[in-house]
């Protein structure tokens, strides 16, 4: 039984966090450096961007996680440390600073950066902020919140969550912080997500859980069809809950997967709702597909459609754009079986049956699509598989934000 609790990454046993302003950002009221430290060495795993252009921190993190263990996470915002001369050396330097100020070996540090690509980054502001960052580490909810704030770029709200669940008769906890509201496209995006848990799970099974989960969580999230260079999704498991270590498939692994997915799917909703310039969250639910992959492909195509996203902004029930996206998606489907319904807190609006339009009230359509969360329910009526994808509307503000992002 999952129970949502407070505390973010500090909710599980054995984790402390903090976030400070060190000077990477010119705005002194914005935190720009975050740190998470575990009391003991943890099983750890990560999933990263599929972009061939990768931020230097990813290369260092992949090297540090090669043995399946880590004990700390350091993240800066305001500069992506990507396509940057000496980028790897800077990322490694951040890891050494963690060792200097916390005692955690540099090789046990996950490092990440987010912000503008191609701008020089100096270690000087990071070094100057380390004393305050490390001395302020704590295990309270506000410490997780400080870390969540420090990794934000164009995010308008911090994003964190935590759940409590049981494994092997022991109470376990899992928590996360994340950021990302632009350059978000299926197969990871400009998002950073860091998960902590006190459940005992082997590095191999933790890595497997992350790779399996992203298929139906982070890879089903889209804001603008741009896959970033710095996407990093990492997890650390301290094992301090005392449950029998998960080393193979079984009931406990399934329960852990469910808890992990509760975290990642909740974060997908938070990320999509806060998409750059967005006014509403769009959740596309596909059922009746021939295969799970067909369902995923169909749902992602709808969420990715710029025309559909613009229609949602204008509260226009232009369901033809849904059918259009399904038609070019590449999913194996029969157009003559498709049914579509728009739904929100204001009611339900069936608009298509058997691939053909049906009469509906434009007045009701306006009410349904004016809500902050809009669901697009699609039944392919051709099988037993389903999938969910998350996105947002496309607004004038998206262009404004990205028109002067660098300057």
Catalytic residues: 190
Buried b (16+ CB within 10 A) or exposed e, 175-192: bbbbbbbbbbbbbbbbbb
Alpha-carbon separation of residue 362 from 283, 322, 323, 375 (angstroms): 21, 17, 19, 17
| Token pair in block for residue 130 | 């380390």
| Token pair in block for residue 343 | 């739904």
Please name which of 209, 186, 216 lies closest in space to residue 385, comparing C-alpha atoms: 216
Distance CA 187, CA 312 (A): 23
The H or E element that residue 75 is part of is: strand 69-77
Query: Residue 386 in contact with residue 277, Cβ under 8 Å?
Result: no
Helix, strand, or coil here: 52? coil
Alpha-carbon separation of residue 348 from 49, 286, 326, 343, 367 (angstroms): 37, 16, 21, 4, 10
Neighbours of 134 (CB within 10 A): 20
Alpha-carbon separation of residue 99 from 34, 46, 62, 96, 130 (angstroms): 15, 21, 18, 5, 11
Distance CA 368, CA 7 (A): 35
Q: Would strands 373-379 and 281-289 be described as parallel, antiparallel, or unpaired?
A: parallel
**Which phi and psi angles does 359 have, rounded to 5°?**
-65, 140
Q: Would you state the torsion angle of the CA atoms of residues 93, 95, 97, 100, taken in this order, to the nearest 10 degrees?
A: -130
Distance CA 268, CA 390 (A): 7
Distance CA 106, CA 84 (A): 21
Distance CA 172, CA 243 (A): 8
């Amino acid at each position: 039984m999952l129970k949502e609790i407070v505390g973010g990454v500090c909710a599980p046993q054995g984790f402390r966090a903090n976030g400070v302003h060190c000077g990477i950002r010119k705005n002194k009221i914005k935190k720009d450096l975050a740190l998470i430290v575990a009391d003991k060495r943890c099983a750890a795993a990560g999933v990263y961007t599929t972009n061939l252009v990768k931020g230097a921190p990813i290369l260092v993190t992949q090297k540090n996680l090669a043995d399946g263990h880590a004990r700390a996470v350091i993240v800066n915002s305001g500069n992506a440390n990507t396509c940057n001369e000496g980028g790897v050396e800077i990322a490694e330097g951040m890891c050494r600073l963690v060792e200097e100020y916390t005692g955690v070996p540099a090789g046990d540090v996950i490092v990440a950066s987010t912000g503008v690509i191609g701008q020089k980054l100096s270690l000087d502001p990071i070094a100057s902020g380390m004393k305050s960052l490390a001395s302020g580490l704590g295990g309270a909810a506000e410490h997780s919140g400080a870390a969540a704030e420090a990794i934000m770029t164009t995010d308008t709200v911090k994003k964190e969550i935590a759940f409590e669940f049981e494994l092997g008769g022991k109470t376990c906890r899992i928590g996360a912080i994340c950021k990302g509201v632009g350059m978000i496209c299926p197969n990871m995006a400009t998002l950073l997500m860091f998960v902590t848990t006190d459940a005992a799970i082997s590095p191999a099974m933790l890595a497997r859980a992350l790779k399996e989960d992203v298929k139906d969580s982070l890879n089903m999230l889209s804001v603008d069809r741009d896959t970033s260079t710095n996407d990093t999704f990492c997890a650390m498991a301290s094992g301090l809950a005392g449950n029998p270590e998960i080393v193979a498939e079984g009931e406990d692994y399934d329960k852990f997967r469910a808890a992990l997915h509760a975290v990642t799917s909740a974060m997908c909703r938070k990320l999509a709702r806060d998409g750059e310039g967005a006014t509403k969250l769009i959740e596309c639910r596909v059922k009746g597909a021939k295969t799970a992959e067909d369902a995923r492909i169909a749902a992602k195509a709808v969420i990715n459609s710029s025309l559909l996203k613009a229609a949602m902004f204008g509260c226009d029930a232009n369901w033809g754009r849904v059918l259009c996206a399904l038609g070019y998606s590449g999913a194996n489907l029969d157009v003559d079986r498709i049914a579509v319904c728009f739904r929100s807190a204001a009611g339900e609006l069936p608009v298509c049956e058997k691939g053909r339009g049906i009469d509906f009230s434009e007045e009701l359509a306006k009410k349904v699509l004016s809500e902050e969360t809009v669901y697009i329910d699609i039944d392919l009526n051709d099988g037993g598989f389903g999938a969910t994808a998350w996105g947002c509307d496309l607004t004038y503000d998206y262009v404004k934000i990205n028109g002067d992002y660098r300057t």
